[in-house]
């Protein structure tokens, strides 16, 4: 369902590796959600969603450090987009998927979809513009 694709590659190795990991965690969450007869499934899903959130926040700071280090002029735009997304992640308390929810699988699907749609869009239109090293861009 969720995977890194060639079209997402930025050509900057650490960024591509971190993006790949984000898709892996999303996929793992999705698979677990669909798996049957797993004890404590929703606890594990909550852990994965939390990991996804933490990893995303860490990834943003790595990316920002890199952009800063090469004097990238669109750093501010990136920071603004990252922060808006962190706000969304925090508002949605990903760790709080509750077994009492009427349709918890749908809640998980919606979160994964929103998160990965945002990520793909941000990678394609924003991260892919980041230059591999100091350049004129």
Site residues for Fe ion per CB under 5 A? 63, 78, 127
Q: Closest approach of Cβ 136 to Fe ion, in Å?
A: 20
- Identify which of residues 45 and 63 has a Cβ nearer to Fe ion in the complex: 63
Rounded (10°) CA dihedral 98, 37, 112, 87: 30
Helix axes 75-91, 41-69, angle to 10 degrees: 160
Q: Closest approach of Cβ 81 to Fe ion, in Å?
A: 7
- Identify which of residues 63 and 94 has a Cβ nearer to Fe ion in the complex: 63
Q: Closest approach of Cβ 53 to Fe ion, in Å?
A: 14
3-state helix, strand, coil in the chain (%, to 5): 70, 0, 30
- Identify which of residues 101 and 125 has a Cβ nearer to Fe ion in the complex: 125
Q: Which of 130, 11, 113 lies closest to 77, judged by CA?
A: 130
Q: Closest approach of Cβ 74 to Fe ion, in Å?
A: 10
- Identify which of residues 19 and 33 has a Cβ nearer to Fe ion in the complex: 19
Task: Give the nearest residue (CB) to Fe ion.
Answer: 127
Place of tokens 């890194």: 4
Under a CB-based contact definition with an 8 Å cutoff, are residues 82 and 118 in contact?
no
């Amino acid at each position: 369902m969720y995977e890194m694709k060639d079209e997402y590659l930025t050509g900057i190795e650490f960024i591509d590796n971190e993006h790949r990991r984000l898709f892996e965690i999303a996929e793992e969450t999705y698979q677990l959600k669909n798996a049957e007869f797993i004890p404590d499934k929703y606890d594990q899903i909550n852990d994965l969603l939390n990991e996804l959130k933490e990893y995303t926040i860490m990834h943003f700071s790595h990316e920002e450090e890199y952009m800063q280090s090469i004097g990238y002029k669109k750093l501010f735009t990136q920071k603004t987009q990252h922060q808006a997304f962190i706000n969304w992640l925090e508002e949605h308390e990903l760790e709080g998927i509750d077994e009492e929810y009427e349709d918890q699988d749908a809640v998980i699907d919606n979160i994964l979809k929103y998160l990965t749609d945002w990520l793909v869009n941000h990678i394609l239109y924003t991260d892919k513009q980041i230059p591999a090293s100091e350049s004129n861009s």
